[in-house]
Structures are given as C-alpha cells and as structure tokens.
C-alpha cells in the first residue's frame, strides 16, 4: 500500500509544475502578490486614497476615495502601472481601472483597512506541507506552500 501512495505522489509531483504553468497559476500568484505589498509598492498618498479590489484579465481594479482622487490617479495611471509591473516577476498588468466606493456617498473616506497575519494551526500547516512534499520542483512546491500559507494567514479588516 505504501508503494502505491508513493507512486501517486510521484505522478502528482511530475504533473503539478506543468499544470501550474499551463493554467497560469504561477502568473496569478505573481499578480496577486500586489495586494499584500500595496503599501510598499505605491507612495503613501496613493495608498491612503486607493485600495486594490481585484485583478480580472490583467486589469487591476482600484477603489478610489472620491472623484477628485479618481481624476488625479487617472493622470498618474501609466506611472502607477509601470511601478506595479516592475514589481512583478512573471506577469504584467495591462491596465488599471478605478471605481468609487459602492454604496457610499462621495467625500466619505474609504475605510482604513489593515492586513493582519494570523498564523494557521500547526497541524494544518503540517498537513499541507505533507500534501505538497511529493512535488519534486522545489520552487513550485515553495510557491504553492507560500500561496496556501498567505491565503490562510492574511485577514483583511476595516479599522474603526
């Protein structure tokens, strides 16, 4: 029975790196690395008035505090796009779209959000590490482990 489990692990380890590349998951992980690094990538003024919402088909969507900030950032869009693309290793953003906060009146500040890190349970970490231990490609294994860890450890909350 043990030999069958090892054989299955080797098959998964052989297939997973190619699957990640083929499906574009490596690029998606790279693109979404912008979210936890937002405050480090852009200047304080931008991060105070705009927050990343999502990335769809290579387009970064930002929630901007007000129409005046939206206009200001529209003028700086190419500079912002260049800065963000320089921080990426495997992928590129094609464009940046900006929206005003939904359900809020203009002039009200976008909530101050913070990312807190809550270390996942040791048992869950160990269980996932065991699952990915069969991946032969060390970089692929580490990237998948990092993605899993961040998806379980990062908690975004509105400051009050």
Three-class secondary structure assignment of 44-69 = HHHHHHEEEEEEECCEEEEEECCHHH
User: Cβ contacts of residue 94 below 8 Å, gap of 6+?
Assistant: 57, 58, 59
Distances (CA, A) of 89 to 20, 29, 36, 159: 15, 10, 16, 31
pLDDT of residue 72: 92
Would the pLDDT of 124 be above 60?
A: yes
Q: What is the pLDDT of residues 12-66, one digit of tens each?
A: 777 777 777 777 678 888 888 899 999 999 999 898 999 999 888 889 999 999 9
CA-based torsion, 133, 135, 136, 141: positive or negative: negative
pLDDT in tens, 66-122: 988 999 999 999 999 999 999 998 889 999 999 998 765 555 555 666 667 778 888
* Confidence (pLDDT) at 51: 92
DSSP 134: T
């Amino acid at each position: 029975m043990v030999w069958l489990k090892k054989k299955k692990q080797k098959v998964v380890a052989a297939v997973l790196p190619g699957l990640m590349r083929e499906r574009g998951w490596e690029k998606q992980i790279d693109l979404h690395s912008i979210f936890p690094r937002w405050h480090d990538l852009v200047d304080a003024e931008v991060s105070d008035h705009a927050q990343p919402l999502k990335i769809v088909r290579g387009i970064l969507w930002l929630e901007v505090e007000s129409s005046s900030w939206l206009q200001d950032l529209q003028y700086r869009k190419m500079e912002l796009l260049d800065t963000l693309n320089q921080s990426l290793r495997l992928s590129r953003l094609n464009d940046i779209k900006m929206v005003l906060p939904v359900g809020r009146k203009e002039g009200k500040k976008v909530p101050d959000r913070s990312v807190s890190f809550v270390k996942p349970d040791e048992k869950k970490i160990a269980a996932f590490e065991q699952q990915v231990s069969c991946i032969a490609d060390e970089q692929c294994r580490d990237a998948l482990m990092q993605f899993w860890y961040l998806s379980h450890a990062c908690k975004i909350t509105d400051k009050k």
